[in-house]
């Protein structure tokens, strides 16, 4: 099993902890400066309209175009870290100019134009850095486990963000009730800027693997490559339509809760926390699901379920006793889904793209999906909301039908069309959506997820051993990948437990790794591997057991003979007869005779021994005798 990284597993775990801490600091920057309810309240205090919010979102999406420049820069760089750090530190320091706007500019529309321009410049620098960072991380993490690494990182960050979001809500509440919204946001955002810069500085301790640069084609040829790639193109279409459909509504949910439902920024911030809780609870499960079954069935399922996300906002009224629980449940369920959606989309870009031109694949996807398709929809949607808010507001008791509801309804119908695009995503292996749904509904899915991550991450040998044993008892196919990886664990008892578990599960995917362990004396689990292959019992297992049969130690050879009898394929008869005549150990000869008896469905071992020890020019007599009871299979 090959990987893309030369960093040893133990070092990678330490490095990934740094990347995770950096991501946590960066997420705090995002909460305090970009995505939290305080920013929405800050902007509305400065007289921002739905059109302004739509323009900010639209320009932010259009800034994705700059990922092309980032990928072009990445294609010629020998070292990525220094330039990436300069770009990111600069873009985060730009946020200070937004905080100065209320003190510098007093005309409302001019001030808002200034803020929108700074946000746009901020997003441009951020987007240039994205393909450089993703290219770096994709080279750092082994390809076959990349989704699980990002899932573990996402889970830790989201868990910490819950605390941060609650703290932000509590602190901002005092500023809000005292009428100092602008001052409160400035203070909190300043803290966010410091955390954002600290995020970038942590990458000084993250190594950079050798960068494989793209072929020196023209930038237009590199850009066109993702669109010419027949296997990748359906995913491009999916991403484009998905962002087009969701951006009609997604950027207006929080604004709607504040502007239309009359919820305070504190309540909205607490509601947003429910999303993070959903992400924390399910990220590791989604990561394991993607690594096991692939990304397409996960995207198919989520394309169906996320169609109904806007429904809760459509049904919400100004009766807060009903609306707040309704939105909390929907936002939590949306977070449950978002954890999988982000990992699946990111996984395709990091694992299913060619390494030399990966940065351009990422940039082209984001350009097409967000820079083009999603840049206009929030702008148009914002104007549509403002227009209907002034011309078509219907009040029925506590229910107020406005332009927001039109946008949310339109988005829900558009999202339904995503199901068609998800179905056509191409991926090696044709796993059905039904298999993934079965795992989603499985009672032991979360238990398996917890055990798999313990086997992968725990420094304690006994914990890994126990996890492997329990996974063998559960027999869940999601454990196969990590159990295969555990065949090379530094602990021999963990390797033994992993081999036994794979034998219990009985999946043919494990045949080749077990065969390698069987023929590698340094594995020290040869007999366990032989027994596991006997339990699996497919053609590959038969080949592995019959290969190098004479060169195994006594214990392993005994298990191989028993395993061949267990498999019951008559193709093993001739090799076992030959082994019998070469073998001098009477105990081993008796074991071989017993195995041959099972293969030939002959109950008496003595009869088999008599046939084997008879003097004949060859063994045709014995073979014919066995053939009378069982048709000999084709040679392996």
Q: Mark whether 149 and 273 lie in a shared domain.
A: yes
**In the predicted structure, residue 185 carries a pLDDT above the cut 90:** yes
Q: Name the β-bridge partners of 395.
A: 400
Coil, strand or helix at 395? strand
Q: Describe the crossing of helices 66-76 and 108-140 by its angle, rounded to 10 degrees.
A: 40
Q: How confident is the model at residue 6 (pLDDT cuts 50, 70, 90)?
A: low
What is the gyration radius of the CA atoms in the chain, in angstroms?
Answer: 30
Calculate the dihedral angle through the C-alpha atoms of 100, 104, 110, 116, rounding to the nearest 10 degrees.
-10
Stated pTM of the model: 0.71
Coil, strand or helix at 141? coil
Q: Mark whether 139 and 194 lie in a shared domain.
A: yes
Please, which residues have CB within 8 angstroms of residue 56's CB and are 6 or more apart in sequence? 116, 119
Average pLDDT over residues 441-462: 88
Q: Mark whether 107 and 47 lie in a shared domain.
A: yes
Q: Name the β-bridge partners of 448.
A: none
CA dist., res. 219 & res. 73, Å (int): 10
Q: Report whether 550 contacts 582 (CB < 8 A).
A: yes
Q: Is residue 186 part of a domain?
A: yes
Among 467, 533, 524, which residue's Cα sits nearest to residue 503? 533
Q: Is residue 165 part of a domain?
A: yes
Q: Is residue 102 part of a domain?
A: yes
CA dist., res. 250 & res. 601, Å (int): 68
Query: What is the pLDDT at residue 368?
Result: 81
CA dist., res. 434 & res. 181, Å (int): 49
Lowest mean pLDDT among 213-222, 242-251, 492-501: 213-222
**Using one digit for the tens of pLDDT, what is the confidence trace for 158-170?**
888 899 989 999 9
Alpha helices in 460-546 (DSSP H): 461-474, 480-486, 492-505, 511-518, 526-536, 539-546
CA dist., res. 481 & res. 525, Å (int): 18
Q: Is residue 166 part of a domain?
A: yes
First to last CA, the chain: 25
Average pLDDT over residues 181-197: 95
Burial of 123 (0-12, 13-18, 19+ CB in 10 A): buried
Cβ neighbours around 581 below 10 Å, total: 11
Q: Mark whether 578 and 509 lie in a shared domain.
A: no
Q: Mark whether 256 and 298 lie in a shared domain.
A: yes
The 8-class DSSP code of residue 205 comes to G
Q: Is residue 441 part of a domain?
A: no
Q: Is residue 547 part of a domain?
A: no
Q: Mark whether 607 and 470 lie in a shared domain.
A: no
Percent of the chain with pLDDT over 90: 34
Q: Is residue 174 part of a domain?
A: yes
Burial of 113 (0-12, 13-18, 19+ CB in 10 A): middle
CA dist., res. 267 & res. 34, Å (int): 17
Domain limit, last residue, from 499, 521, 540: 540
Buried b / exposed e across 138-157, counting CB within 10 Å, b at 16+? bbbbbbbbbbbbbbbbbbbb
Q: Is residue 440 part of a domain?
A: no
Q: Mark whether 351 and 468 lie in a shared domain.
A: no
In CATH, what number is assigned to the domain containing residue 404?
A: 1.20.1250.20
Please, which residues have CB within 8 angstroms of residue 201's CB and are 6 or more apart in sequence? 85, 89
**In the predicted structure, residue 66 carries a pLDDT above the cut 60:** yes
Q: Mark whether 89 and 160 lie in a shared domain.
A: yes
Q: What is the DSSP string of 32-64?
A: IIIISHHHHHHHHHTT--HHHHHHHHHHHHHGG
Please, which residues have CB within 8 angstroms of residue 24's CB and are 6 or more apart in sequence? 156, 157, 160, 161, 199
Domain limit, last residue, from 380, 409, 427: 427
CA dist., res. 486 & res. 492, Å (int): 10
In CATH, what number is assigned to the domain containing residue 501?
A: 1.25.10.10
The two beta strands, 394-396 and 399-401, are antiparallel
Domain limit, last residue, from 427, 443, 475: 427
Q: How confident is the model at residue 613 (pLDDT cuts 50, 70, 90)?
A: low
Q: Mark whether 490 and 591 lie in a shared domain.
A: no
Host domain of residue 623? 568-636
CA dist., res. 635 & res. 624, Å (int): 16
Domain count, the chain: 3
**Using one digit for the tens of pLDDT, what is the confidence trace for 84-125?**
999 999 999 999 999 999 888 778 889 999 999 999 999 999
Please, which residues have CB within 8 angstroms of residue 602's CB and are 6 or more apart in sequence? 596, 608, 625, 626, 629
CA dist., res. 130 & res. 64, Å (int): 9
Name which residue leads in pLDDT, 28 or 592: 28
Please, which residues have CB within 8 angstroms of residue 193's CB and are 6 or more apart in sequence? 29, 33, 92, 93, 95, 96
Query: What is the pLDDT at residue 618?
Result: 44
CA dist., res. 167 & res. 182, Å (int): 18
Q: Mark whether 469 and 508 lie in a shared domain.
A: yes
Average pLDDT, the chain: 84
Q: Mark whether 535 and 611 lie in a shared domain.
A: no
**In the predicted structure, residue 358 carries a pLDDT above the cut 80:** no
**Using one digit for the tens of pLDDT, what is the confidence trace for 523-558?**
889 999 999 999 998 888 889 888 877 777 888 888
Q: Mark whether 109 and 66 lie in a shared domain.
A: yes
How many CA atoms, within 13 angstroms, populate the side-chain half-sphere of residue 361? Answer: 25
Backbone angles phi, psi at 470, to 5 degrees: -65, -35
């Amino acid at each position: 099993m090959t990987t893309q990284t030369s960093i040893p597993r133990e070092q990678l775990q330490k490095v990934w902890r740094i990347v995770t801490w950096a991501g946590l600091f960066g997420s705090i920057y995002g909460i305090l400066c970009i995505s939290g309810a305080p920013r929405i309240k800050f902007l509305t205090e400065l007289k921002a309209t739905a059109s302004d919010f739509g323009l900010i979102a639209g320009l932010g999406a259009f800034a994705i175009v700059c990922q092309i420049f980032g990928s072009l820069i990445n294609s010629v760089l020998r070292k990525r870290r220094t330039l990436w750090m300069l770009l990111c530190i600069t873009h985060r320091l730009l946020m200070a100019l937004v905080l100065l706007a209320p003190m510098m500019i007093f005309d409302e529309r001019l001030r808002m134009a200034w803020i929108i321009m700074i946000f746009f410049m901020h997003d441009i620098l951020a987007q240039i850095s994205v393909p450089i960072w993703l290219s770096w991380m994709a080279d750092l993490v082994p390809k076959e486990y990349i989704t699980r690494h990002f899932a573990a990182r996402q889970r830790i960050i989201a868990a910490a963000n819950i605390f941060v979001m609650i703290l932000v809500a509590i602190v901002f509440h005092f500023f809000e009730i005292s009428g100092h919204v602008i001052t409160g946001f400035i203070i909190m955002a300043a803290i966010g800027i410091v955390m954002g810069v600290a995020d970038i500085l942590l990458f000084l301790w993250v190594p950079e693997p050798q960068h494989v640069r793209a072929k020196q084609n023209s930038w237009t040829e590199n850009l066109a490559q993702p669109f010419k790639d027949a296997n990748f193109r359906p995913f491009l279409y999916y991403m484009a339509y998905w962002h087009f459909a969701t951006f009609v509504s997604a950027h207006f949910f929080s604004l709607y809760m504040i502007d239309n439902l009359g919820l305070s920024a504190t309540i909205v911030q607490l509601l947003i926390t429910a999303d993070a809780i959903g992400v924390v609870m399910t990220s590791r499960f989604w990561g394991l699901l993607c690594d096991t079954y692939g990304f397409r069935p996960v995207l198919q399922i989520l394309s169906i379920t996320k169609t109904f996300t806007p429904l809760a906002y459509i049904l919400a009224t100004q009766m807060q006793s009903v609306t707040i629980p309704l939105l909390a449940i929907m936002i939590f369920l949306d977070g449950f889904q978002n954890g999988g959606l982000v990992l699946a989309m990111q996984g395709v870009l990091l694992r299913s793209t060619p390494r030399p031109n990966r940065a351009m694949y990422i940039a082209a996807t984001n350009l097409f999906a967000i820079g083009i398709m999603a840049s206009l929809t929030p702008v148009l949607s914002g104007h549509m909301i403002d227009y209907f808010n002034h011309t078509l507001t219907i009040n029925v008791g506590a229910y107020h039908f406005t332009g927001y509801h039109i946008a949310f309804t339109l988005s829900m119908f558009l999202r339904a069309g995503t199901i068609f695009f998800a179905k056509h995503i191409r991926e090696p292996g044709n796993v059905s959506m039904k298999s993934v749904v079965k795992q989603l509904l499985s009672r032991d899915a979360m238990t398996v997820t917890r055990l798999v991550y313990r086997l992968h991450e725990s420094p304690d040998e006994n914990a890994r051993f126990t996890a492997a044993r329990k996974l063998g008892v559960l027999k869940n196919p999601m454990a196969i990948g990590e159990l295969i990886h555990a065949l090379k664990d530094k602990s021999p008892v963990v390797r033994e437990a992993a081999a036994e578990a794979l034998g219990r599960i009985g999946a043919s995917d494990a045949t080749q790794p077990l065969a390698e362990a069987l023929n590698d004396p340094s594995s020290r689990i040869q007999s366990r591997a032989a027994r596991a292959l006997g339990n699996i019992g497919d053609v590959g297992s038969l080949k592995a057991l019959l290969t190098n049969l004479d060169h195994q130690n006594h214990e392993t050879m005994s298990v191989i003979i028993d395993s061949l009898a267990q498999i019951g394929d008559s193709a093993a008869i001739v090799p076992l007869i030959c082994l019998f005549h070469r073998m001098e150990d009477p105990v081993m000869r008796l074991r071989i005779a017993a195995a041959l008896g099972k293969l030939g469905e002959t109950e008496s071992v003595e009869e088999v021994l008599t046939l084997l020890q008879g003097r004949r020019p060859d063994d045709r007599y014995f073979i014919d005798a066995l053939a009378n009871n069982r048709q000999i299979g084709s040679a392996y």
